[in-house]
Chains A and B, each alone.
Chain A
Amino acid sequence: MSVYESPLREALILGDDKNYSKITDDIVRNTEGKPPLRWWIAFVIASATALFGVFCLAWTVWYGIGVWGLNKTVDWAWDITNFVWWIGIGHAGTLISAVLLLFRQKWRTGINRAAEAMTIFAVICAGLFPIFHMGRVWMAFFIFPYPNTRGPLWVNFTSPLLWDVFAISTYFTVSLLFWYSGLMPDFATIRDRAKTARRKMIYNVLSFGWMGTAKQWQRFESLSLVLAGLSTPLVLSVHTIVSFDFATSVIPGWHTTIFPPYFVAGAIFSGFAMVQTLMLITRKLFSLEDYITTAHLESMNKVIVLTGSIVGVAYITELVIAWYSGYLYEQYAFYNRALGPYKWAYISMMTCNVLSPQVFWFKKIRTSVFWSFVLSIFVNVGMWFERFVIIVTSLHRDFLPSSWNYFTPTWVDMGIYVGTIGIFFTLFLLFARTFPVIAIAEVKAIFRSSSEVSRAQMSAPLDFSDAHHADDHGHAAGGAHASIQHNKNFNEQ
């Protein structure tokens, strides 16, 4: 509130009628009353898709993973593709809430809550794939090291697959804690305006009995900062470890040192695209255009074009290094990737990931809601193809030409994938109806510096003869700065 911000920056909270209660109203309104019809339509579609996914998972467990399109040569395909895709999507949430917090980017406050929710739901979807690929799902707990009667037989700590277990479960836990610690004060806000006793009781339980005392807020800020500091290396480590699943193997096309940074950039890229998709839907569905503004969309599009270009450079580097290595198998892997039977997937990937985001160099497109939405879908599709290309094209022609094969997914493969999208949107819709989709307290905290209301007040105080301010605060010499800090009338309607 007392931080000076250049009036040249776009306001992050629009509307000249905004004040603290209006912010509460606008955000909490979506959790009150009956859900609108369009919510029900979206919910029915999403949950029906989710149920079909559950059916396909049950089918897989009942008949075994033979019902998937995997074969002896391509023994990893859609399952790991989808796993990496979902994990990557999740990364944007942590990036927005943690990395942007460390960089003091105020625009994160409009989107961090929903982006963190997205992280959690995406990790849930991601986790399903390796668990169900195990075949005997009921033995999934074998992946954790625990004293047992089988020897004891321990897990292999030198395997990247086990690192994944630790990375993903830590990532899920920490993201959940970070998200929930931020939610408590906002649940208290909902509690204190609840009309019925039942609602009051439920939201009080959810808020853990939050009061908002000075000491609570002090610890809150300290906790957020340290959790952000922990989440930042964590999120980088998670996708690094995911890339190790491939990079530490000796398969040409996977055995690449560029994988960790390239995967992390790709994760941010796809994650921001998914945040963009979700935010564009959310702001429309819940009329939150004043909080998720064009400035927010533009910032996200800038991140998309940056990371998209990094990914593009990585693709080309891979090709160049494969050629430069002078290693026949490596060269063939990349020749086959770009020009072999999966050429169509490679072209889709290149078009969606490298070419399409480049249009964001134009401000007109960057700030257009329509094009942001279209391109966010392109990037989501492109990043799915990236993982498919890396995984399947590297495997399908292995060292022995007699075992060369072509992978085609079955209906079960597709059903599970579509099903996880259903699960994701079901969870997101439930979240959007019952939880505050925007971090209320954090938005209020930037209201004095970054709202349209404060901008209007900021330009006025440059007038030194303003007697009201001078009398009121005895700060006339302080000019603009003093008035920004101490204008009493901001909140009066």
Chain B
Amino acid sequence: MSASSLDYNKFVVGLYDHEATLLKAIKKIRSNGVEIHDALSPFPVHGIDPLLGLKESRIHTAGFFFGMTGTTVGLSLITFIAKFNYPMIVGGKPYWAIPSYIPVIFEMTVLYAAVGMVLTYLIRNKLWPGRVPRIFDKRTTDHLFALTFAIDEKSEADINKIKSLLNDTGAIEVNTKEFHDTDEPLS
């Protein structure tokens, strides 16, 4: 799995029409020592991550730390305001009436965790409004599953090996796709 598709410009794209076939294909292709660049699918395919050798996402860990930040910010903000900057007795309670601060601190925790995690998600997934993605095959957001192979540095024999592996594993179509910087966006 390569980090970024922008490092390469030429790809072999194998298309499958069933996720079970796709999973078996990944297993077979990888056991033949061929590196898969990426897999595209119209919905999350369960069990694909270990087959592709993807590590578990750490986004939830990030979420935990964002949440903790929210708790800390909430607690320190209220403490500063209610205890030091503007101490005021409300309903005979102490200045630092911690139980009644729990709701706000809890909401701050959730808010920070959610916003922080979504921002992390967008940055890590390279998603932003107006981003023009490389579209390997338009049908991969509809009904087909694709495996892509970067072939910029591959020999003719390697490419043929990839193609024959794809055909052997039940790909319904095998295409080559080349991206140029001058391409019409989204075409």
Contacts and interface: CB of A to CB of B under 8 A. Distances in A.
Interface string B87-117: 0101101000100110110111011011101
A192 B139 CA distance: 7
B143 A445 contact: no
Interface in A372-406: none
Interface stretch (A131-139, A223-231, A316-324, A421-429): A223-231
Given A209-B128, A214-B52, A158 B17 contact: no
A448 B19 contact: yes
A154 B83 CA distance: 12
Given A163-B104, A170-B107, A220 B93 contact: no
B59 A223 contact: yes
B133 interface: yes
Given A157-B81, A166-B108, A445 B43 contact: yes
B20 A219 contact: no
Given A222-B59, A442-B43, A177 B115 contact: yes
Contacts of A163: 103-104, 107
Interface in A184-230: 184-185, 188-189, 191-193, 197, 200-201, 204-206, 208-223, 225-227, 230
Contact of B44 (A445, A448, A492): A445
Contacts of B143: 19-21, 24, 491
B71 interface: no
B59 A20 contact: no
Contacts, number: 218
B117 A226 contact: yes
Interface stretch (B6-14, B27-35, B119-127, B152-160): B119-127
Given A154-B85, A442-B43, A226 B93 contact: no
B132 A193 contact: no
A367 interface: no
Give 7 nearest A-B pairs by CB, closest first. A209-B131, A20-B143, A208-B127, A217-B44, A441-B43, A163-B103, A166-B107
Given A157-B81, A214-B54, A244-B103, 16 more contacts: A158-B93, A160-B103, A162-B104, A166-B104, A166-B107, A170-B110, A177-B114, A193-B142, A211-B134, A212-B141, A219-B59, A225-B60, A227-B114, A227-B117, A241-B103, A442-B43
Interface of B: 1, 17-21, 24, 38-49, 52, 54, 56-57, 59-60, 63, 67, 77-78, 81-82, 85-86, 88, 90-91, 93, 97, 100-101, 103-104, 106-108, 110-111, 113-115, 117-118, 121-122, 124-135, 138-143, 170, 185-186
Interface of A: 1-3, 19-21, 24, 145, 151-154, 156-160, 162-163, 166-167, 169-170, 173-174, 177-178, 181, 184-185, 188-189, 191-193, 197, 200-201, 204-206, 208-223, 225-227, 230, 233-234, 237, 241, 244, 440-442, 444-445, 448, 485-488, 490-492
